Chain A
Amino acid sequence: MKRNRWMSASLVLALTVSLLAACSGNGGNGGEVNSGGNGKTETESSSGGKKTEVIKLKMWGGVPVEAGPQAVVDAWNAEHPDIQVEYERFVNDDAGNMKLDTALTTGQGADLFVNYAMPRLKQRIDAGQALDLSEFADYNIDEQMGRDASQWKVDGKYYGMPTTRGISFMWLNKDMLDAAGLPIPPADWTWADLREYAKKLKTDATWGLLRHEAIFMNPFNSVLESVGVTRADGTSNLDHPLLKEGFSTWHDMMFADKSTPTYGEQMTSKMPVDTMFLKGESAMLDAGGFIFRNANNLTDNPRTFKIAFATTPRMSADQQGAKAAGGLGDVLSINAKSANKEAAWQFLKWYADGGMLPMAAGGRIPASKSVNGDEAAALLLKGVEDKYDIDSLKKVVFGQFETFVESLPQQVVDIRKAEYEKYLLQQAELDASLAEMAEKHNEFLKQQP
């Protein structure tokens, strides 16, 4: 029994001592770091001041390390022995972003980070975590990345540099299209055309169309981009007639034509739409560049057919000035509390102007005009050139389109989803769903300051 007593006593002691030691040891400077909310406070760092020491940078991104980032930082590190970059991967979901946000506030452990959505970037700007890049005068983002880059400006300034061009587009099984006597659709095709295509391409064994969950809302967002998220009087536009038409067409493709899986079926069976398409179980796949990684891996996904590409169709011929959803993305920011901003900037420029090329094999097309498009295409198609219809690939995947960046607040995205789900599960009428959507959106708008 004596032993028990001693063990517990020493444990309690250890707890108390270590806590006290920890508190007194780091209490002072820790507090200062926290108070520097405007991003101008420089933290003291052992690697900062001395010139002879190797600067260590950490970059946070959502791409798994083996899917390109490791090759990128390895290449940089080999060229720059004085600035060594380490890549830290975070999962781009709520929890993963929370992890990044906490790491950013400490000012250590995250010098560069990639933003994937406007609401997250805005939050980080408000929190003083993203550095205003206009303090560096030696790089013209607008010129390098093109006109669409400006959509990532907040209050007229860049707090991050968009690095990729990632529009969504339609993947086509060229062999099935040929068999059905259908040409590759023109760039200005519509959802009505899509419905006809899917109907004609559908067989007993194959779907006409599969849609990837990640881009479900892209055509709808494109409509919102054309008509505005709110009306002139400031009320919700989520019940716009064009959106109604879109939802009802999609619904009819599921239930009347049965040319695409029902929403319930797809969600409850976690349908692996990319592998299904690559197995030849569907003639079309609405997705984006992120499918290339699987499509180019012929060992795991063997296929004999050729893949062609088409733009994402417009909702209707009435949709004015339709832009391609996706646009520029992978917005790389520098932590305003980083001790090595200059070094981070060096890396950022290098990354954007071609350093990121190893990621092209996974479908990430560099946006910078300094990158030779053919070089990126060659990387993307290495060894699988004969498996694609190169002409449509060049036109669509590497084409120049007017694009937009989806920037709906997450609350609105969630409101919309909860309502259209009910319609697509046939638990509510379309009009009721849209009315509910608009009402909740209006309530949200009222709350906003």
Chain B
Amino acid sequence: MSGWRKKERLWGLLFIGPNLLGVTLFFILPALFSFGLLFTDYRFANPDMNFVGLGNLKRLFHDELFYLALKNTALFLASVPVSIGLAFLVALALNKSVYLRSLLRAMFFMPYITSGIAIAFVWMLLFQPSKGPINQLLRAVGIENPPGWFSTTDTSMLAIDIIWIWFMLGYFMIIYLAALQELNSELLEAAKIDGARGWVTVRRIIWPLVSPTTFLLLVTGLIMSIKTFGIIQAITQGGPGNSTTIVSLYVYRTAFSYYEMGYASAISWVLFAIILFITLIQWFGQKKWVHY
């Protein structure tokens, strides 16, 4: 038995090894390096570097902008479950029950395959408060005071959320589509014969069956979103009044605009701890709702 164990271990290493080598080189080592910077006042390329102990962390806990960025990040992440829910419905619709499936899938996937950044600012025009098409539509359906979107600090993040839902929808959808292909169609047939129809089938059978995928999307979706900054930098640069400055954008600004690499590392590692915490909650919470 123990010989078999040893062999299994060897096989495990063989299968995972090449990937692990890459992860070590391109993730673990740089991460350790950046963890070391956390305790310094390193400025990029500047050889004059001092050990500051926990100084960066202390500064962080008194940094008002950091707390604001945390709040903004939470508001930003709210878009992820919404987008996942919508993507599930779209994937269901585009799985079998429509014509022109390829074309429709491509349309919904389009946002994800462009960098987003290149066309990000068209959203600025669509959301333009006085003359933009979105508010014109809202006025046409009788809303007299449509939101000011990017022109007020209260609604700018809502606009960003909508853009992010639009952007991530295709990614969530395509993975749901792949998951739907793996569903046991006999089970679905049996459910149909039992008289379960439409919405009941979706809720009682399909939704639980794709729960491992939902779990995957929730974990990766949150991780990807929490790390993103390019699209916000392109549209609002964090404004107005820092109302769309999320933590990762603050890291970017601190590192590349203020050159404070040590402090940027500190913010990053606190952000890392937060993501890890959220992910662990999900990981242990998955037993309650994920059915493998």
A and B interact: yes
Instruction: Please report A residues at the B interface, Cβ cutoff 8 Å.
Output: 12, 15-16, 19, 37-38, 94-95, 97-98, 101-102, 104-105, 123, 126-129, 264-265, 267-270, 409-411, 414, 417-419, 421-422, 425, 427, 440, 447
Please, could you name 22 A-B residue pairs with CB atoms under 8 Å apart, sorted by A?
A15-B18, A15-B22, A94-B256, A97-B256, A98-B256, A105-B45, A123-B259, A127-B43, A127-B44, A127-B47, A128-B46, A128-B47, A265-B129, A267-B150, A267-B240, A268-B128, A269-B130, A270-B124, A414-B257, A422-B240, A427-B153, A427-B241
Candidate in B64, B127, B149, B239 with the most chain A CB atoms within 10 angstroms:
B239
- Contact call A12/B240, Cβ cutoff below 8 A: no
Is B152 an interface position by the 8 A CB rule? yes
- Contact call B253/A104, Cβ cutoff below 8 A: no
B interface: dominant SS: loop
- Contact call B151/A267, Cβ cutoff below 8 A: yes
Q: Which residues of A contact B127 (CB under 8 A)?
A: 268
Per the bound structure, the CA–CA distance linking A417 and B243 in Å amounts to 12
Is B25 an interface position by the 8 A CB rule? yes
8 A Cβ contacts from B251-288 to A:
252-253, 256-259
Known: A16-B21, A98-B256, A419-B241. A265 touches B44 (CB 8 A): no
Q: Which residues of A contact B252 (CB under 8 A)?
A: 94
8 A Cβ contacts from B113-135 to A:
121, 124-125, 127-132
Per the bound structure, the CA–CA distance linking A16 and B48 in Å amounts to 35
Q: Which residues of B contact A411 (CB under 8 A)?
A: 258
Known: A94-B256, A126-B48, A127-B43. A268 touches B124 (CB 8 A): yes
A-contact bits for B189-222, CB 8 A (1 contact / 0 none): 0000000000000000000000000000000000
CB contact between B125 and one of A265, A269, A419 (< 8 Å): that residue:
A269
Which residue on chain B has the smallest CB distance to residue A413?
Answer: B257
Is B34 an interface position by the 8 A CB rule? no
- Contact call B25/A19, Cβ cutoff below 8 A: yes
8 A Cβ contacts from B152-173 to A:
152-154
- Contact call B18/A270, Cβ cutoff below 8 A: no
Which residue on chain A has the smallest CB distance to residue B17?
Answer: A12
- Extra A-B contacts (12), CB below 8 Å, given A126-B43, A265-B130: A15-B18, A101-B45, A123-B43, A264-B151, A265-B129, A267-B240, A268-B124, A268-B132, A270-B121, A410-B257, A414-B257, A427-B153
- Contact call B148/A264, Cβ cutoff below 8 A: yes
Which residue on chain A has the smallest CB distance to residue B149?
Answer: A268
Q: Which residues of B contact A123 (CB under 8 A)?
A: 43-44, 46, 259
Q: Which residues of A contact B43 (CB under 8 A)?
A: 123, 126-127
Q: Which residues of A contact B46 (CB under 8 A)?
A: 37, 123, 126-128
Per the bound structure, the CA–CA distance linking A269 and B149 in Å amounts to 12
- Contact call B258/A410, Cβ cutoff below 8 A: yes
Minimum CB–CB distance from B30 to chain A (whole Å) comes to: 14
Per the bound structure, the CA–CA distance linking A129 and B43 in Å amounts to 13
CB contact between B239 and one of A19, A98, A410, A417 (< 8 Å): that residue:
A417
Minimum CB–CB distance from A97 to chain B (whole Å) comes to: 7
Known: A98-B256, A268-B124. A425 touches B240 (CB 8 A): yes
Known: A15-B22, A267-B150. A421 touches B241 (CB 8 A): yes
Q: Which residues of B contact A267 (CB under 8 A)?
A: 150-151, 240
- Contact call B25/A38, Cβ cutoff below 8 A: no
A-B CB proximity, top 10 nearest: A37-B47, A264-B151, A127-B45, A12-B18, A422-B241, A94-B256, A421-B240, A127-B46, A94-B257, A418-B242
Is B59 an interface position by the 8 A CB rule? yes
Per the bound structure, the CA–CA distance linking A15 and B19 in Å amounts to 10
CB contact between A264 and one of B22, B125, B129, B132 (< 8 Å): that residue:
B129
Candidate in A104, A129, A267 with the most chain B CB atoms within 10 angstroms:
A267
Which residue on chain A has the smallest CB distance to residue B151?
Answer: A264
8 A Cβ contacts from B18-67 to A:
18, 21-22, 25, 43-48, 59, 64
CB contact between B151 and one of A19, A95, A425 (< 8 Å): that residue:
A425
Which residue on chain A has the smallest CB distance to residue B129?
Answer: A268
Per the bound structure, the CA–CA distance linking A223 and B147 in Å amounts to 36
Q: Which residues of A contact B25 (CB under 8 A)?
A: 19
CB contact between B45 and one of A104, A270, A422 (< 8 Å): that residue:
A104
- Contact call A94/B253, Cβ cutoff below 8 A: yes
Candidate in B45, B125, B154 with the most chain A CB atoms within 10 angstroms:
B45
Minimum CB–CB distance from B217 to chain A (whole Å) comes to: 27
Minimum CB–CB distance from B203 to chain A (whole Å) comes to: 39
Per the bound structure, the CA–CA distance linking A427 and B258 in Å amounts to 27
Which residue on chain B has the smallest CB distance to residue A410?
Answer: B257
Which residue on chain B has the smallest CB distance to residue A11?
Answer: B18
Which residue on chain A has the smallest CB distance to residue B130?
Answer: A265
Per the bound structure, the CA–CA distance linking A102 and B242 in Å amounts to 28
Per the bound structure, the CA–CA distance linking A414 and B241 in Å amounts to 9
Per the bound structure, the CA–CA distance linking A57 and B30 in Å amounts to 32
Per the bound structure, the CA–CA distance linking A105 and B127 in Å amounts to 42
Minimum CB–CB distance from A156 to chain B (whole Å) comes to: 19
CB contact between B59 and one of A37, A264, A447 (< 8 Å): that residue:
A447
Per the bound structure, the CA–CA distance linking A77 and B257 in Å amounts to 35
Q: Which residues of B contact A419 (CB under 8 A)?
A: 241
Known: A418-B239, A422-B241. A38 touches B47 (CB 8 A): yes
Per the bound structure, the CA–CA distance linking A264 and B147 in Å amounts to 13
Q: Which residues of B contact A409 (CB under 8 A)?
A: 258
Q: Which residues of A contact B258 (CB under 8 A)?
A: 409-411
Minimum CB–CB distance from B24 to chain A (whole Å) comes to: 11
8 A Cβ contacts from B230-252 to A:
239-242, 252
Q: Which residues of A contact B121 (CB under 8 A)?
A: 270
Candidate in A97, A104, A269 with the most chain B CB atoms within 10 angstroms:
A269
